[in-house]
Chain A
Amino acid sequence: KQEVTQIPAALSVPEGENLVLNCSFTDSAIYNLQWFRQDPGKGLTSLLLIQSSQREQTSGRLNASLDKSSGRSTLYIAASQPGDSATYLCAVSGNYGQNFVFGPGTRLSVLP
C-alpha cells in the first residue's frame, strides 16, 4: 500500500530565504505527483504537477523535482514571502491514475 511522508512537519523561516520541502513515497509505480497549497479553512490549490516520466516542473518561484526510483520529490521555494505561509501537501496517483495518496503536509510560516 502506498504511503507518503513529508519532512519537515513544520518550518518557520525569515522572509527572503530559499527553502526546500520534502516528500517521500514507498511505491515508485506512480502515474504522477502533485504539489498543493492549503490555506487555513480552505480547499487545496494545485501548484505543480509532475508526470512520472518528468524530472521537474517550474512555476514562478516554485520548482518541483521528482526522483521516481528513490521515491522522492522536493518543492523548492525561492525568495520566500509572508504570503507563502500555508500548508503544503504532496500527493501521488497510482498507475491507473485514479486513486491519490496524500502526505500529511508541511506547515510553512514565513516571517516578515
Chain B
Amino acid sequence: DVKVTQSSRYLVKRTGEKVFLECVQDMDHENMFWYRQDPGLGLRLIYFSYDVKMKEKGDIPEGYSVSREKKERFSLILESASTNQTSMYLCASSSGQGHYNEQFFGPGTRLTVL
C-alpha cells in the first residue's frame, strides 16, 4: 500500500513564526502536492513538484514556499505565519503520467495560527 505521512496531525503556531510542514511518501512517486482545504472553498492547490528540486505554483502560492531535496520528501514552508493561513493542509503524491497517475493523500495537518 502506498503510504503518505505528514509530520503532525495538529499544530498551533503564533503569528509571524516560520512553520514547516513535512510530507513523506514511500512509493517512489514522481509527483507531490500540497493543498489546503477550507470550508466552502474546497481543496486548493498551493504548490506541486514533479521531480526533485522542481516546483510549480498552484492556485494559491502566496505566503508559501516549498522544498523538495529528496524524491520522497516534500516540505511546505510558511515564511511568516498569519491567521488567514489557519487551515487543514493535505499532502498528496502520484506516480505521474503513464502509470495511472492515481493520487494518494496523507492524513492532513490541522494548523491553527494564533
| Residues 88-104 (chain B) with a chain A CB within 8 angstroms | 88, 90, 92, 94, 96-98, 100-104
Check if A97 sits within 8 Å of B97, measured CB to CB.
yes
Check if B102 sits within 8 Å of A41, measured CB to CB.
no
**B interface secondary structure, majority:** strand
**Complex contacts, B104 vs chain A, CB 8 Å:** 46
Check if A89 sits within 8 Å of B105, measured CB to CB.
no
Q: Does B74 contact A (CB under 8 A)?
A: no
Check if A42 sits within 8 Å of B107, measured CB to CB.
yes
Check if A41 sits within 8 Å of B108, measured CB to CB.
yes
Check if A46 sits within 8 Å of B102, measured CB to CB.
yes
**Complex contacts, B105 vs chain A, CB 8 Å:** 36, 43-46
User: Quick one: which of A36, A96, A100, A105 contacts B33, CB cutoff 8 A?
Assistant: A100
Bound form: Cα–Cα A41–B96 in Å? 27
Check if B106 sits within 8 Å of A43, measured CB to CB.
yes
Q: Does B43 contact A (CB under 8 A)?
A: yes
Check if B103 sits within 8 Å of A46, measured CB to CB.
yes
Check if B97 sits within 8 Å of A96, measured CB to CB.
yes
Check if B101 sits within 8 Å of A97, measured CB to CB.
yes
User: Quick one: which of A34, A45, A98, A104 contacts B31, CB cutoff 8 A?
Assistant: A98
User: Please, could you name 18 A-B residue pairs with CB atoms under 8 Å apart, sorted by A?
Assistant: A32-B102, A41-B88, A41-B110, A42-B107, A42-B108, A45-B105, A46-B102, A89-B43, A93-B101, A93-B103, A96-B97, A97-B31, A97-B97, A98-B50, A98-B56, A100-B94, A100-B103, A102-B43
Given A43-B4, A43-B90, A43-B108, 10 more A-B residue pairs with CB atoms under 8 Å apart are A42-B107, A44-B92, A45-B105, A46-B104, A49-B102, A51-B100, A98-B96, A99-B45, A100-B33, A102-B42
